């Protein structure tokens, strides 16, 4: 068993990742705050977590770069200790017609959303296997389950992440390592607001609970899966979508 509970949250500088990092810190985890470009936000978040009484470090890496990820994990292990919880939150999106999706966009979405998770899991897994303990939580999307017009590339990456979650859960369960995913629905965020007021209103109306989700809603789902109360749960895709996919 890991002596300390240390979480690495990718893409944690802002938005959902930030909410997850704070929720895990409040639950007793020390937190490594990964960022790609949001250095100031990540440093501020790490400082806030320290004020909460937990250890924290801000660590830079583009998760699409395997060498950068390995260096990041080595730094986290040196400064905090081995990672017992990995939250693969870093992701990018793109909206547009499939015929307008050029190869560069397609490759970038897969390199961050799918390869990024692969790189991070590969980097933390050896320690988890030695300890026969650990938890991996992937942040997916209801579009990976449901599909969405003009979201083909993004939905394809999230479907791949969900397939990875289920398959890796089966492979790692005998080693005591749990793998789950949280699939957010329509979350009130800069990414969603960029779609325009009309689209946001339509998605809100389509959500049975009659409101958009929040980053806090997603963070609470991650916290549940991370804590011992979920110790018999693995291979699951937990939707936090207000009933959108019913």
The residues assigned a catalytic role are 154
Q: Is 71 exposed, middle or buried (0-12, 13-18, 19+ CB in 10 A)?
A: middle
Looking only at the bridges linking them, the beta strands covering 177-184 and 134-139 are: parallel
The answer to whether the CB of 96 falls within 8 A of the CB of 150 is: yes
Helix spans in 173-214 (H): 190-193, 197-206
Where b means 16+ CB within 10 Å and e means fewer, 16-53 reads: bbbbbbbbbbebebbbbbbbbebeebbbebbebbeeee
Q: What are the residues whose beta carbons fall under 8 Å from the beta carbon of 59, sequence distance 6 or more?
A: 32, 33, 34, 35, 72, 75, 76
């Amino acid at each position: 068993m890991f002596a300390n509970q240390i979480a690495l949250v990718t893409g944690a500088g802002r938005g959902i990742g930030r909410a997850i990092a704070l929720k895990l810190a409040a639950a007793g985890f020390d937190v490594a705050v990964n960022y790609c470009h949001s250095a100031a936000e990540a440093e501020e978040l790490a400082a806030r977590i320290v004020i909460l009484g937990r250890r924290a470090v801000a660590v830079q890496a583009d998760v699409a770069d395997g060498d950068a990820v390995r260096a990041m994990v080595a730094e986290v292990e040196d400064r905090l200790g081995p990672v017992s919880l990995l939250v693969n939150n870093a992701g990018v999106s793109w909206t547009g017609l499939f015929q307008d999706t050029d190869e560069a966009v397609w490759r970038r979405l897969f390199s961050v959303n799918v390869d990024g998770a692969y790189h991070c899991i590969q980097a933390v897994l050896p320690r988890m296997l030695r300890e026969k303990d650990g938890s991996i939580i992937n942040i997916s999307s209801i579009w990976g389950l449901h599909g969405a017009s003009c979201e083909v590339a993004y939905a394809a990456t999230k479907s791949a992440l969900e397939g990875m979650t289920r398959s890796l859960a089966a492979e790692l369960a005998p080693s005591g390592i749990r793998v789950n995913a949280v699939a957010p629905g329509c979350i009130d965020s800069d990414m969603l607001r960029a779609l325009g007021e009309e689209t946001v209103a339509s998605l809100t109306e389509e959500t049975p609970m009659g409101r958009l989700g929040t980053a806090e809603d997603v963070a609470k789902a991650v916290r549940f899966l991370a804590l011992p109360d979920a110790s018999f749960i693995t291979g699951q895709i937990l939707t936090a979508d207000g009933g959108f996919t019913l």
